[in-house]
Structure 1
Amino acid sequence: MLDYEVTVFTANRATASTFNNVFIKLIGSSGESERKWLWNFKGASAFVRGAVACFRVSCCTSLGKLVLIELDKQPLLLFPEDSWFPAKVEIKSPEGACYTFPIYRWINDNKVHRFREGTALKGFEDKHHLGRNSREQELKERQEDYCWDVYLEGIPHCLKADDLLSLPYEVRFSFTKQTEFLFTAGAGLTELKLKGLAECKMGWADLDAINRVFCCKQTDMSDYVQQHWKDDDFFGYQFLNGVNPMLIRRCTVLPDNFPVTDNMVFPDSQFSLAEEMEKGNIFLCDYKQMDGVKASTINDKQQYLMAPLVLLHKTPDDKLMPIAIQLKQKPAEDNPIFLPSDSEYDWLLAKIFVRSADFNEHQLNVHLLRTHLLAEVFAVSLLRNVPMVHPLYKLLIPHTRYTLQINSLARKTLISEEGVFTKFSASGGDGMITILRRSLTSVTYSSLCVPEDIAERGLKDIPNFYYRDDGLRLWNIINRFVCGVLSHYYKSDHEVKQDSELQQWILDIFEHGFLSHPCRGIPQKLNTVDELIKFVTMVIFTGSAQHAAVNTGQYDYGGWMPNTPISLKLPPPTKKGEATEETMLKTLPDVNVTVQGMATMWLLSQQSSDFVPLGQYPEEHFSEETPRQMIKKFQKELKELSAAIKQRNKELKVPYTYMDPEEVENSVAI
């Protein structure tokens, strides 16, 4: 008899244990073993959380090169069927060969589950008929479990799921994540309800009253925002390093609908617009996607959402200062251009309307569409089209963690008919649909790739732009890692073209994510290794660094509501010189709208205890030495970048931390 040494690793995560009987069958190129009950001196504790258990499986003859294992578990008479989360199985053959079978998935039934040996194989390399058959069967099952659905016409498709319990086990939150998420959500709302504010539909009497609510949940940055939200230089700073650094661009020619003159913005004739534009010192933020959007009604009061244009000037001391604001797209007598020289509340109200427009642009386009919804498309297409043994699956699966459940929660609790965003934001309801559809038509491939996006917006050399600085370095680090891994597996452009699973993955993304619109530059097929590397870099960057940049600081910048009102109750002023503090307070959202917005932004900014930083891979999907070395190099570069960012931040009055690799999660998980 020949003995195979089998070692089973149960994951060290909550509820991973099983007390059922576990069985295994080994399948090789020359035969297969009998189905073997895995039993040893550890008894029922062999498969508890974090356990490593060793067994022997005896065979009459050599099985040859191991290709597959089959695992199943059967409930004991006195124990109910439970869920088990094995991490991996390692097997040493009688000939001394070692095989690793990555699993990292729930087994919650008594069916037989097949797992491939860990060496990454593209479809055309999978020569053994058992390997090919298991590959086909795996994708067939996945395509039944992960079906496309249309949540709203005109936006990226999503995973079909009737409710959270219908999500496949593999993509659900861990017990730890689920418990913490529900506790944080409940605690925030409970505190607000105990204060008697969640149902209060009155306006704010003064800023002190807002402060009394705000002081219950503060961060260092939210404190800074409260103190400086009226300052013009901080208003400008937020376009670079706040939660929406994606709209600002260098202005070389004034838009026809923004008739700003030198006398308006440079009354002392110290500068001229033409000269400053030529020098690259004038910048524009244009919220044209908000134009004509139907604002919602909240507490039986009509809300208002503008489509402003904002002109900014980089001063000789490298500050970015707003110099003109027009709150509607069409110039008119009742649509004045507001200036810093106007009265205090004229200018402050104009900035408040801009910040409210920015909230809606950020949440729907920059945050929801360009990170959450696209990350879901990348994940669903991966799960439907790429088997576990494929190198692309091994590379990308850690970057899909929790994305499908967090998006399902968002559709249920944020943007549904009764969702918080729908009920309490100016763009909730019909406006939200309009903005999302317009936003998708504005997405281009280059706008998702940081180096090209920065160049196209003319922002290569604007000072104090830390989103750019950290983002470009992160993009390059991710790109080098992706290049190293994929170049190891794809030796020629022909292999990329030949890989039918890879090509179906990209085609599904094109069809279901970008709705088959070819004019945006999104590829529908991949022809070269370089094209593949660039696209996969974008996928990882979008779900990790980009999401962190536009998500983590939400409460920092939005906790103090006047800096980021989620809705406004009065129309903008049509004449100058009439606005007062009372006008401002009557314009700001009601108490319940404010606290619901605060609670949601607090929840979405919290890091869970099972947070996995970018580049950390607790689940070892790669078994070959080359990609494992690439991962170590990737982690080293990320650590060095993190140290450099921390060192830089010590010198900054307002530290920029959102793209510090230690603070960036591997995936869209919140």
Structure 2
Amino acid sequence: MADAIETKSVTSSENGSKKMKCEMGEGGRIRGTVVLKKKKTTDFTSFASTVREVGRGLVDRLTGHDLAGKDVSLQFISAVNADPGNELRGKLGKPVHLEDPVNASTCLTSGELAFSLTHHLDQEMGVPGALLIRSNHHSEFFLKTVTLEDVPGHGQIHFVCNSWVYPAQYYTNDRIFFANKTYLPSETPAPLSKYREEELENLRGDGTGERKEWERVYDYACYNDLSEPKKGSKYVRPILGGSSDYPYPRRGRTGRPPTKEDPNVESRLPILQSLSIYVPRDERFSHIKFSDLLAFAVKSVAHFLLPAAEGQFDSTPGEFDNFQEILKIYEGGIKLQKNQFFESIMEEIPSEMLRELLRTDSDGFLKFPTPQVIKEDKSAWRTDEEFAREMLAGVDPIVICCLQEFPRESKLNPENNPEMRVYIEKNLGGLTPDEAIEEKKLFILDHYDILMPFLRGINATSTKTYATRTLLCLKEDGTLKPLAIELILPHPDGDEFGEISKVHMPAKDGIEGSLWDLAKAYVSVNDSGYHQLISHWLRTHAVIEPVVIATNRQLSVLHPIHKLLHPHFRDTMSINGFARQILINAGGALEMTVFPAKFSLEMSSAAYKNWVFPEQALPADLIKRGMAVEDANSRHGLRLVIEDYPFAVDGLEIWFAIETWVRDYCGFYYKNDEMVQEDTELQSWWKELREEGHGDLKDRPWWPKMQSLDELIQTCTIIIWVASALHAAINFGQYPYGGYLPNRPAMSRRFLPKEGTPEYEELETNREKAFLKTVTPQLQTLLGISLVEILSKHSPDEVYLGQRDTPEWTSDKAPLLAFERFGKRLEEIEQRIVDMNNDEKWRNRVGPVRLPYTLLYPSSEVGLTGKGIPNSISI
């Protein structure tokens, strides 16, 4: 069932004022308040008849009076007194029911309802530590908080619930929620221990059956749901995970039945049910993000973007003739070519809604916002300086390396083109390559090793591209200068004959300038595919999902590490499930818009073989790539090889802010290494994460042993960094830099033309047209822009690093104060970023396109801002 509900609120001070102040009544009565959210009516209700499974439940007439009375009951559970007749579980209070709605419109946000309740104090029960809730109402609701006021000997008790509650008929056991007190397993009050264990058992499930929408079961599966064998061999992909050939992180299990054609392949949902894919109920999108993704889903199935007829793009390719035609996408719009398929999909959607979904005006013109890379200057993206700068401050700044040797050692082929040394020596200002390496002035963007094993197969499709190596040198002003680009192809007669390599040098004019433009385009094509499939999807989305699953299966909500990490998992399983349905699946949007096409996820799996968890720490990554060296006299103990490396400069500030926060937090609960070793839930979590979630790499020696406080701190810092700052740095610049496709083309369709051919003559006479006929065609451009626009937007309900969706996430004061310090440190970092961007000394921070580097600026407004670090991989 589609989730069309706003489940979270960002503000903290306002949330605090929402508590209904209640007082102790006569006869031992404790007054309290229950806050819940009702379902939202959205603009998509008329669409529900077309996609019933997606649209179900988008409208709900729930009012406060519907739930008052006997429909919903709560039973509080003692944290101090056990019931001998109930296996020493905490004593249960008598059921209490929601009373009349509280008129508190000034205290609640839109869509929230508040109810009063009366808990009758039982001397034998004592202080409550948990509650059971049972609903006999016909519809689910989102339970936000429960608050008891003036509990004798304790004061206020706050239950942060933030969970969907379904009618009791859907549950084997009543739902339980714990007060916001934090306990290590060994410190849990005995009356709550059994409840703690049972709740984890419920979340694990039994590993069988197809999961239902109301369930909250977390379990693992391989990526065996990307293929559609019933559509033929073109839609069959390898199963990722569970084998040495195709290792991969695990994804959330849905339990859908296998296909008839292949029992090892899980059946897929119809495309119009894509947003109904199972994830545990509390992991589903808010209605705001649901609306955005529904918009993209509609775009994706429309014929002008995703044709029903096979080979539509190949038989009648759309072309841009010059860069000015591309600018019309942003300045005037492109007329949609509607047809019978298009009309049949859209016939039930009102014209006003259709225009909003497809960003069209009344005449049917498709429009997009102007990407920041061409806002200030429409041609600066073409300069060599900007081409190089984006390796340090663009959307994929985590690939460039400082050369440690020349030629660079390859795992595939020790031989290198000897011409490369000759070419680059001409531009090193009198230095030899060895001298430049010694002075750390020579850099490389290398896509050879990852791409070459797949290149013959890729080029057998409509793609025609090269594996590329780009050499650059560091200039005195701190910017990078491209020296040469090597374009490599497998030998046409077979691998035993080696490779064909051609080196291109920078040039501006004539045929050499045109060839240099195309060489840079092939580099961008390589990097676009690497970015989407490895830097973005694999290194953030895919590797974090098993962490989400393991945390919910093995760490109780009472556990301090669960409370620390949970905000960094919001929406991740949901966006990954959506991706498997419509983006990374066989024939999906990603395969249509990046050059590896059907080899995309296979290439991602090959990269996972070399993934190393400790190297996901930013300092370790920089050192491995030669972009930093250890230096006790430098800030944070690291010295950057390129002082003006915006991603690394801002990233290190964020990294060490996170690490300090994690160290303060963990140090409050773990006083020594022995406490880490003796934490049964923590050890089970780490064992399962390694052996199940990342099971294909479980025997690698680099995994932390989780035997010390330092190992715990580093592990949690890496997880938070990857889920928040790393993802932000490589995601939210996609539209600012890649929304203008000539700057970051994602595919190429022909090789460099040979002299004497019509293509070569066109390259000499019409440089722009030849360039555009080589890179992404028109319709894939529109789909690609639609995709990166959605991926680059911040929703109104986003929660950013240094924020929580509720201020009462823990009752422990020291962690709250540490978190406050963390927030203030992030504010200081924001100001530092602004100051550096305004300092002309740092030329890589703005560049020729005059686009300031803000991708690691912690906060943001709504929309396409090119800044902001959400807590989690939420899009």
Fold match, TM over 0.5? yes
In structure 2, the partner of 1:206 is 322
Alignment partners' CA distance in 2, 1:44 and 1:446: 49
Distance in 2, Cα, partners of 1:447 & 1:297: 30
Amino acid in structure 1 at the alignment position of 2:871: N
Question: Which residue among 149, 152, 156 is the counterpart of 1:94?
Answer: 152
Name which of structure 1's ranges 338-347 and 405-414 shifts more when overlaid on structure 2. Answer: 338-347
Cα distance change, pair 231–289 in 1 and its aligned pair in 2 (3 A) = same
Counterpart in the other structure of 2:288: 176
Q: Is the 8 A contact 1:260 1:324 kept in 2?
A: no
Does residue 133 (structure 1) correspond to residue 226 (structure 2)? The answer is no
- Give me the identity figure in percent: 25
Name the counterpart of 2:559: 390
Q: Does 1:617 align with 2:804?
A: yes
Shift of 1:43: 9.7
Relative to structure 1, the CA distance from residue 596 to residue 146 in structure 2 (aligned partners, 3 Å threshold; closer, same or farther) is same
Greater share of helix: 1
| 8 A contact 1:83–1:109 mirrored in 2 | no
In 2, Cα distance between the equivalents of 1:592 and 1:530? 51
Q: Per the alignment, do residues 330 and 251 of structure 1 end up closer, same or farther by CA in structure 2, a change over 3 Å counting?
A: farther
| Equivalent AA in structure 2 for residue 436 of structure 1 | S
Deviates more, 1:184-193 or 1:515-524: 184-193
1:428-475 deviations in whole A, cap 9, x for unaligned?
21x113311111012123430001111222221303211001110000
Supply the distance in 2 between the matched residues of 1:611 and 1:517 (Cα, whole angstroms).
33
Q: For residue 654 of structure 1, what is the amino acid of its counterpart?
A: L
Report which stretch shifted further, 237-246 or 20-29: 20-29
DSSP-derived class of the 2:130 partner = strand
Which structure 2 residues correspond to residues 253-402 of structure 1 after superposition, within 5 A?
253-254=405-406, 255=408, 256-260=415-419, 263-267=422-426, 270-272=429-431, 273-287=433-447, 288-294=449-455, 302-328=462-488, 334-341=500-507, 343-402=512-571
1:411-438 per-position Cα deviation (integer Å, ceiling 9, x unaligned): 1111112311123322121x11331111
> Secondary structure of the residue that 1:335 maps to in structure 2?
strand
Match of 1:147 in 2: 219
3-state DSSP of counterpart to 1:139: helix
Find the partner of 2:833 among 617, 631, 645. 645
2:682 aligned with 1:523:
no
Give the alignment partner of residue 120 of structure 1, picking from 153, 159, 182.
Answer: 182
CA shift, 1:549, in A, is: 0.3
How high is the TM-score relative to the length of structure 1?
A: 0.91
1:245 aligns with 2:359: no
What are the within-5 Å matches in structure 2 for residues 396-415 of structure 1? 396-415=565-584
Measured at CA, do residues 319 and 526 of structure 1 come closer, stay the same or move farther in structure 2, by a change above 3 Å? same
Shift of 1:42: 4.4
Provide the C-alpha distance between the structure 1 equivalents of 2:277 and 2:420, rounded to a whole number of angstroms: 59
For 1:640-663, what per-residue CA distance to the aligned partner results, in whole angstroms no more than 9, with x for missing partners? 111221222233443101100101
Q: What amino acid maps onto 1:5 in structure 2?
A: R
Q: State whether structure 2 residue 818 is matched by structure 1 residue 657.
A: no
Aligned equivalent of 1:65: 127
In structure 2, the CA distance between the partners of 1:119 and 1:17, relative to structure 1 (3 Å rule), is: farther
Give the Å deviation of 1:309.
1.0
Which secondary structure does the structure 2 equivalent of 1:447 belong to?
helix
**Distance apart, 1:270 and its partner CA:** 2.8
TM-score (norm: length of structure 2): 0.71
Deviations 1:110-133 (A, max 9, x none): 2521122221111122241x3111
The equivalent residue for 1:500 is 680
Kept in 2: contact 1:503–1:525 (CA 8 A): no
> What residue in structure 1 maps to residue 250 of structure 2?
157
Any residues of structure 2 matched to 1:525-544 within 5 Å, and which?
Answer: 525-544=705-724
Instruction: Give distance in 2, aligned partners of 1:173 and 1:461.
Output: 41
Contact 1:203 / 1:588 at 8 angstroms: preserved in 2? no
Mapped pair 1:491 → 2:671 = yes
Q: How far apart are residue 402 of structure 1 and its match?
A: 0.6
Instruction: Confirm or deny: 8 A CA contact 1:23 1:36 kept in the other structure.
Output: yes
What is aligned with 2:143?
85
In 2: Cα distance, 1:510 partner to 1:443 partner: 13
- What's the counterpart of residue 636 of structure 2? none
- Offset at residue 301 of structure 1 (A): 6.2
Deviations along 1:559-594, whole A, 9 cap, x unmatched?
221222211111245789955425433312221122
Report how many residues are paired.
660
Shift of 1:607: 1.2
CA 1:73/1:325 → structure 2, altered by over 3 Å: closer, same or farther?
Answer: same
Q: Report how far residue 595 of structure 1 moved.
A: 1.4
Deviations 1:199-232 (A, max 9, x none): 7623333333223235443133343584223211
> In 2 relative to 1, CA 585–26 (structure 1 residues): closer, same or farther, beyond 3 Å?
closer
CA contact (8 A) 1:11 1:87 kept: no
Please give the alpha-carbon distance, in whole angstroms, between the structure 1 residues aligned to 2:452 and 2:738: 23
Change (3 A) 1:159 1:269: closer
Q: Once the two structures are superposed, what CA deviation does each residue of 1:465-517 show, in whole Å capped at 9, x if it has no partner?
A: 11001110000001111111111011111111111211222222223443342
8 Å CA contact retained: 1:336, 1:574 = no
1:666 aligned partner:
871
> CA 1:44 to 1:309, structure 2 compared with 1: closer, same or farther past 3 Å?
closer
Query: Which ranges of structure 2 fall in alignment gaps of 5 or more residues?
Result: 1-26, 41-59, 82-90, 206-216, 224-239, 242-246, 257-268, 270-275, 307-311, 332-366, 409-414, 492-497, 628-639, 840-845, 860-867
> Which consecutive unaligned segments of at least 5 residues does structure 1 have?
none
Change (3 A) 1:264 1:11: same
Matched, 1:10 2:36: yes
Distance 1:325 1:504 in 2: 49
Q: How large is the RMSD of aligned CA atoms in angstroms?
A: 3.0
Maintained 8 Å contact 2:404/2:626: no
Among 198, 213, 230, the residue aligned to 2:382? 230
2:101–2:114 contact (8 Å) kept in structure 1: no
State which of 68, 75, 80 in structure 2 corresponds to 1:25: 75
| Distance change >3 Å, CA 224–CA 455, structure 1 → 2 | farther
| Separation of aligned partners in 1, 2:467 and 2:323 | 26
Distance 1:503 1:586, change over 3 A: same
Q: Distance in 2 between matches of 1:668 and 1:268?
A: 42
- The residue type equivalent to 1:399 in the other structure is H
**1:585 counterpart = 2:772:** yes
How has the CA–CA distance of structure 1 residues 259 and 225 changed in structure 2, closer, same or farther, with 3 Å as cutoff? Answer: farther
Tell me: CA distance 1:253–1:502, structure 2 relative to 1, closer, same or farther (3 Å): same
Provide, for residues 317-369 of structure 1, a one-character-per-residue CA deviation record: whole Å limited to 9, x for no partner. Answer: 22201101111177978421111148111111111111000001111110000
- Change in CA separation of 1:519 and 1:650 when aligned onto 2, cut-off 3 Å: farther
2:97 aligns with one of 9, 30, 37: 37
For the residue of structure 2 that corresponds to 1:561, the secondary structure is: coil
Which secondary structure state, in structure 1, belongs to the residue aligned with residue 853 of structure 2?
A: coil
Match of 1:598 among 771, 780, 785: 785
Return closer, same or farther for 1:246/1:95 CA change in 2, 3 Å cut-off.
closer
Q: State the AA in 2 paired with 1:204.
A: F
2 CA distance for matches of 1:448 and 1:521? 15
Letter in 1 for 2:136: Q
Q: Is the 8 A contact 1:503 1:526 kept in 2?
A: yes
Amino acid at match of 1:588: V
Shift of 1:188: 9.2
Q: Secondary structure at the match of 2:662?
A: helix
Of 214, 218, 221, which aligns to 2:373? Answer: 221
